[in-house]
Amino acid sequence: MKKIVFTEEYCQPENLFPFTLTRQIQDTRIGILTIREKWELALELPSFDKFENDYKDLDRAIKLDASIGADIIYLVHGNALPTPQLIKQVKKLKPGSFLSLPGKESVVFCISGKQILDENKIKVEKAVEIEEELMEIMYPWQIIQQNARAMEMDVQLLKSTRRFQKPSSTNKIIGSSLLIEKGAIMEHCIINATEGSVYIGKNAVIMEGTLIRGPVSVGEGAVVKMGSRIYGATTIGPGCTVGGEIKNSVLFGFSNKAHDGYLGDSVIGEWCNLGAGTSNSNLKNNAAPVWIHTLHGLRQVGLKCGVMMGDYSKTAINTSINTGTVIGVCANVFGHGLTPKYIPSFSWGSEGITRYQLEKALADLDNWKSFKGQSLLENERTILKHIFENF
Whether 182 shows a pLDDT value over 90: the answer reads yes
Residue 130: its pLDDT value, please?
A: 87
Higher-pLDDT residue of 121 and 294 is 294
Same-domain pairing of 201 and 74: no
Query: In the chain, pLDDT over 70 holds for what percent of residues?
Result: 93
Contact of 165 with 185, CB cutoff 8 Å: no
Whether 52 shows a pLDDT value over 50: the answer reads no
Whether 147 shows a pLDDT value over 70: the answer reads yes
**How would you label 101-132 residue by residue, b for 16+ Cβ within 10 Å and e otherwise?**
beeeeebbbbbbbebbeeeeebebeeebeeee
Residue 64: its pLDDT value, please?
A: 63
Same-domain pairing of 382 and 284: yes
Same-domain pairing of 129 and 147: no
Same-domain pairing of 236 and 126: no
User: Lowest mean pLDDT: which of 61-65, 82-86, 91-95, 228-232?
Assistant: 61-65
Same-domain pairing of 130 and 157: no
Residue 63: its pLDDT value, please?
A: 60
Same-domain pairing of 192 and 96: no
Residue 171: its pLDDT value, please?
A: 98
Q: The CATH number of the domain where 212 resides is what?
A: 2.160.10.10
Same-domain pairing of 79 and 132: yes
pLDDT digit string (tens) for 304-322? 999 999 999 999 999 999 9
Higher-pLDDT residue of 52 and 218 is 218
| Mean pLDDT across 94-104 | 87
Residue 267: its pLDDT value, please?
A: 98
Residue 36 CA to residue 8 CA, distance in Å, equals: 13
Structural domain count of the chain: 2
Same-domain pairing of 134 and 147: no
Three-class secondary structure of residue 238 per DSSP = coil
Residue 111 CA to residue 123 CA, distance in Å, equals: 8
Q: Which of 76, 105, 138 is the last residue of a domain?
A: 138
Whether 58 shows a pLDDT value over 50: the answer reads no
Query: What count of Cα atoms within 13 Å lies in the side-chain half-sphere of residue 29?
Result: 22
Whether 385 shows a pLDDT value over 90: the answer reads yes
Residue whose C-alpha is closest to residue 146's, from 322, 269, 302: 302
Structural domain boundaries, residue 349: 142-390
Whether 350 shows a pLDDT value over 70: the answer reads yes
Report pTM. Answer: 0.94
Other beta carbons within 10 angstroms of residue 55's beta carbon come to 17
Residue 71: its pLDDT value, please?
A: 82
Question: Between β-strands 332-333 and 297-302, what pairing exists: parallel, antiparallel or unpaired?
Answer: unpaired
Average pLDDT, the chain: 91
Residue 116: its pLDDT value, please?
A: 77
User: Lowest mean pLDDT: which of 48-52, 193-197, 310-314, 350-354?
Assistant: 48-52
The band of 123, judged by pLDDT with boundaries at 50, 70 and 90, is confident
Q: The CATH number of the domain where 25 resides is what?
A: 3.90.550.10
pLDDT digit string (tens) for 253-306? 999 999 999 999 999 999 999 999 999 999 999 999 999 999 999 999 999 999
Q: How distant, in Å, are the alpha carbons of 9, 122, 296 from that of 12?
A: 7, 20, 12
Strand partners, 99: 108, 128
Residue 60: its pLDDT value, please?
A: 47
Q: Which of 105, 138, 171 is the last residue of a domain?
A: 138
Strand partners, 109: 75, 98
| Mean pLDDT across 99-117 | 83
Q: Which of 138, 171, 199 is the last residue of a domain?
A: 138
Whether 330 shows a pLDDT value over 70: the answer reads yes
Residue 59: its pLDDT value, please?
A: 45
For 360, phi and psi rounded to 5 degrees?
-65, -40
The DSSP result for 8-71, as a single string, is -TTT-GGGGTTGGGSS-GGG-B-SSSBHHHHHHHHHT--B--TT-SSTTS---SS--SGGGTT-
Residue 61: its pLDDT value, please?
A: 47
Same-domain pairing of 62 and 152: no
Same-domain pairing of 148 and 287: yes
Higher-pLDDT residue of 241 and 58 is 241
Same-domain pairing of 71 and 165: no
Same-domain pairing of 125 and 167: no
